[in-house]
Amino acid sequence: MAVFVNTPGQDNDWLLDGGGDWSGERVVVPYLRGQGVDRLNSVVLTRGDKAHAAGLCTVAENIPTSRAAHSGTGSRSKYFWDWLDRMRRCHLQITTLREGDAWIIGRDIHVRVLNPPHESPYDRSDDNSIVLLLEFGANRVLLTSDAGATVERRLLESHIDLHAQLIIKGRHSVETSCTDEFLDAVRPEAVVQCVCPRPTDRYLQPELRDRLRQRNVKYYRTDETGAVTIRLARDGYTIHTTLP
């Protein structure tokens, strides 16, 4: 998992997660440099496991960064504590993100934190994943990290407006995600799923593909499409894939 939020100018670029240690060094850092990125405003760790945290260490040590953010729920993963220690050694400002936090990136990009709650009842790190709603112009993008059905149910019970044209997601370790009820509330036009490029049966999820197909929702899996680029304009968006 790695999501780069590239804003106009050079002062407000964000990176959510950095993949594993290999992909952080061999994919994410070269990609950022290829985009002309010589500094980042913030890196956000949405979940403290290897596939999200390890690559962020490499990024912060190679590209100057001002701030690091995480959910503040702790973790049993050694990769989280290694990440936190290395962020401190890089002298980054460290903050936590919880439900209800909101801010503006630059002048026009509104961001709200939907998960985890302040008094999180969850034991699994998947359920404590940071879930963000990003708004720009007419566009709403829901970034759900590895949240699954448990978090989706809580968000539905909160009665907040979940409608978004785009969902960018990972994969919960045991639960399904994009349940029927959640899709009915979000009404997405497209779902992008970050998938490990190495062969694995963890992402087969034929029921997810069927649910999206039944609703005519476009489905982009990065093991099939390569990296996905979403360009937001005030009145719409375009999606481009690295592979056909």
Q: Domain end: 75, 96, 117, which one?
A: 96
- Give me the pLDDT at residue 192, please: 97
Q: Are residues 141 and 21 in the same domain?
A: no
- What's the structural domain count of the chain? 2
Residues 242 and 121 reside in one and the same domain: yes
- Per residue in 187-207, pLDDT (tens digit) is 999 999 998 766 655 556 788
Q: Which of 42, 65, 96 is the last residue of a domain?
A: 96
139's CB contacts (< 8 A; 6+ apart) are 165, 166, 232, 233, 236, 237
Pairing mode, strands 139-145 and 14-16:
unpaired
Q: Which residues span the domain enclosing 81?
A: 1-96
CB distance 18 to 56 below 8 Å: yes
- Quick one: pLDDT at residue 202? 58
Residue 205's pLDDT is what?
Answer: 74
Buried b (16+ CB within 10 A) or exposed e, 135-155: bbeebbbbbbbbbbbbbbebb
Verify that 85 and 150 share a domain, yes or no.
no
In angstroms, the CA 99 to CA 237 distance is: 27
What local confidence, expressed as pLDDT, does residue 75 receive? 85
Per-residue pLDDT at 152: 97
User: Is 71 in the same domain as 173?
Assistant: no
Single-letter amino acid, residue 195? V
- Clarify whether residues 106 and 78 are in a common domain: no
Q: What does the pLDDT profile of the chain (244 residues) look like in tens digits?
A: 899 999 988 889 999 999 888 888 999 999 999 999 999 999 999 999 888 999 999 998 899 999 999 999 988 889 999 999 999 999 999 999 999 999 998 888 999 999 999 988 898 899 999 999 999 999 999 999 999 999 999 999 999 999 999 999 998 888 999 999 999 999 999 999 998 766 655 556 788 999 999 999 999 999 899 999 999 999 999 999 999 8
Cα separation, 65 vs 40, in Å, equals 5
| Together in a domain, 18 and 139 | no
* Residues in a beta bridge with 131: 115
Q: Are residues 205 and 182 in the same domain?
A: yes
Q: Are 127 and 242 in the same domain?
A: yes
Q: Are residues 113 and 67 in the same domain?
A: no
Q: The pTM is what?
A: 0.94
| pLDDT at site 8 | 85
Residue 102 sits in a domain of what CATH number? Answer: 3.60.15.10
Residues 115 and 210 in one domain: yes
Residues 15 and 78 in one domain: yes
Regarding whether 177 and 75 lie in a shared domain, the answer is no
